[in-house]
A and B are shown apart, each in its own frame.
Chain A
């Protein structure tokens, strides 16, 4: 029996059911990782949450850094100093970190560095479904792909061992299905690093890539890749899996969750096949693959997103002058581009359909779809969210002034959805202010504004804000200050401190003071900064009007900071404590059924029952924000005096 209160710190030999993200943390623990850093981002957020929890007991230093680039530089430099280190990020997080990521293969990372990427085919919770396998090729870094929780854990240990042996970075590419899927994980023993903690500035060519010093560093990184190619060709992390009792009707090359889904698809189809499952996806074990291709008449490559394996394999065949193989990838037999195969996830249902078509057999899947139309259930701002009242004010002000608004990344991206329709252009983290600046050059007479949350402001917002002040770009910025990184599940940020009202702050984040966004903006030279309570729409509206007037008059950036702790976090904490305010109800004796609260304010707690507005008492957190959106003088939305929440 393990002494730890955390199951993932259990003894070697223990078995636990873990989600992939927890399995990664167990892997770090076994691999002897001492330093880890990250910015939260789905699907990898739970890695940070888990590391935060076990940090003290495990001795792994973990921090939420301000962004992915900062986290990667921190982890890589700890490794240069001799410490086994790890960083992890969502797919698009690597875009932020890429400036330093592409340099890593040139450096001598003697402590070892493993980078976990959470790609998001679908996508489930990202602004794109980019295929990060290309980054491995770009940056000359080996890339491994696990297909379940056990492999997620094992691959971290394997990757760290080789990272330390060859002093180079290794990437583990996961996807949402691996990060969030659960499976049994058998624990191994924890290793401790025996690497000397010492900085050796001239080690293997040094750490200053400049035009004059780059060549040997480039050669080193190419040679390091060759070591991985050799390892892959010797069979490392490759598995050939025979499915079914009959002779294989097809060969399949795949990796990751698609491997697991292919097993399901073949069972449903009742087809015998042989799968070549790749663990090392870059560089490819081309000798093994070519051998496989030559043994099967027909081979289908099953890979989500882009034809990464397919393109490399075609090159490999060309180089080896091998012909006569039916290689089925993402183009039709006439070699026409099939865009459908580039999109979304390959789940079991889809794989059954694809394979049935290739094998020219009947698709055995039998299902019944509801004939009744099922209304969509898009994500929405939570009951009591301070963003909602702010969007009501912004919408009013911006429509009156015939302007429009630009978006940024966070819960407030949801302002785009009806009925608010706020934030109409979105690139990436921190893009709101620069995109507003650009639009102001195209449409100088149009009032423009954007939104940014506190976490995004610290992540990538400040350079755009500084630029807008420096170059005098006329616009209004609303900072949505809820004191937490809410969208990814309430991780702390530099603005968290005590104002979070419910965030489980642990370790060094406990009792930390918030950094003042106001002072930072003041220091940058923003001349109009007004902080208002988000719940008070009149104050928010007035502040926005003042800000637009100021921006127009002074040809500059004006900022309104609306403040309200994340309602989901606050209400959850208050529910647990039994202190949550009583819900509201509609007094139908005076309600005139105008339904503005229902259709324009659109809080999830406000529903339509038998053509009347009713408040769902389970969802209502008693904030009363809806009341100010009722046009009647005598308000029919009233708070219950006697109510027991169960």
Chain B
């Protein structure tokens, strides 16, 4: 595939920072001088529903939405959402998954009838599509740095260190993080990025 095009599918739960993550990657593409558009799908997601954001880099006037099987990158902020979003991932793409679990209502009120899959099950399922699966306890890493909100930047770091398909440089990515988060959190987010980069494909 060409190095100036990329489709990214980000998913998570309302309030987790899917939009903020999308804005960072969008801005990094802008810094690289590429055409970029994105689409957040949130419905009533502020109330704990699913949020997804699609980014199309280098696709001109096309819809930002990823078709099924088209996303080069799958970035999920909540573990179960990785499985729901798997349909978007292209063969041998890269999946970066935050291992944090938030139980949906359907699981919680089922008295054990509806199961939340284990992290190992989620990983093995994703491996059917691609060998490039990265499971990261990004919440823990961010919390150890003193700010759980930096979780998404840990994931971005993990993505950056484990693939060469990104159409922007690490420097542009860092610059985008700095530009899109409040000034006082820049230091801790740069640390979160570095910590994320230590993650390896498992």
Contacts and interface: CB of A to CB of B under 8 A. Distances in A.
Contacts of B60: 263
A379 B36 CA distance: 30
A639 interface: no
Interface string B113-152: 0111100011001001100000000010001001110000
Interface string A467-511: 000000000000000000001010000000000000000000000
A181 B39 contact: yes
Given A181-B37, A372-B83, A375-B104, A264 B67 contact: yes
A341 interface: no
A417 B104 CA distance: 13
A148 B129 contact: no
A582 interface: no
Nearest to B149: A646
B63 A260 contact: yes
Interface size class of A (residues with CB under 8 A): 35 or more
B121 A372 contact: yes
A268 interface: yes
A267 interface: yes
B169 interface: no
A382 B38 contact: no
Contacts, number: 185
A376 B48 CA distance: 12
B47 A382 contact: yes
A489 B46 contact: yes
Contacts of A536: none
A263 B67 contact: no
A641 interface: no
Nearest to A371: B125
B61 to A, nearest CB: 6
Nearest to A383: B48
B1 interface: no
B105 A378 contact: yes
B37 A148 contact: yes
A348 B112 contact: no
A19 B26 CA distance: 12
A419 B117 contact: no
B77 interface: no
B84 interface: yes
B63 A263 contact: yes
A608 B67 contact: no
A181 B52 CA distance: 12
A261 interface: yes
A417 B105 contact: yes
Chain A interface, DSSP helix/strand/loop, else mixed: loop
Nearest to B150: A646
B191 to A, nearest CB: 14
Contacts of A366: 69, 90-91
Contacts of B63: 177, 181, 257, 260-261, 263-264, 347-348
Nearest to A259: B61
A618 B148 CA distance: 9
A502 to B, nearest CB: 14
Contacts of A568: 46-47
A367 B38 contact: no
A608 B112 contact: yes
Interface in B143-165: 143, 146-148
A299 B147 CA distance: 56
Given A261-B65, A377-B13, A608-B107, 9 more contacts: A177-B63, A181-B37, A370-B86, A372-B117, A376-B104, A377-B104, A378-B49, A418-B109, A599-B109
25 contacts: A17-B30, A17-B36, A177-B63, A181-B64, A260-B63, A263-B62, A347-B65, A348-B63, A349-B67, A365-B69, A368-B87, A370-B84, A371-B128, A372-B122, A375-B104, A377-B49, A377-B105, A377-B106, A379-B43, A379-B46, A595-B111, A598-B108, A604-B108, A618-B148, A646-B148
Top-3 shortest CB links A-B: A367-B69, A379-B44, A379-B49
Interface of B: 13-14, 26-27, 30, 35-50, 59-70, 80-81, 83-84, 86-91, 102-109, 111-112, 114-117, 121-122, 125, 128-129, 139, 143, 146-148
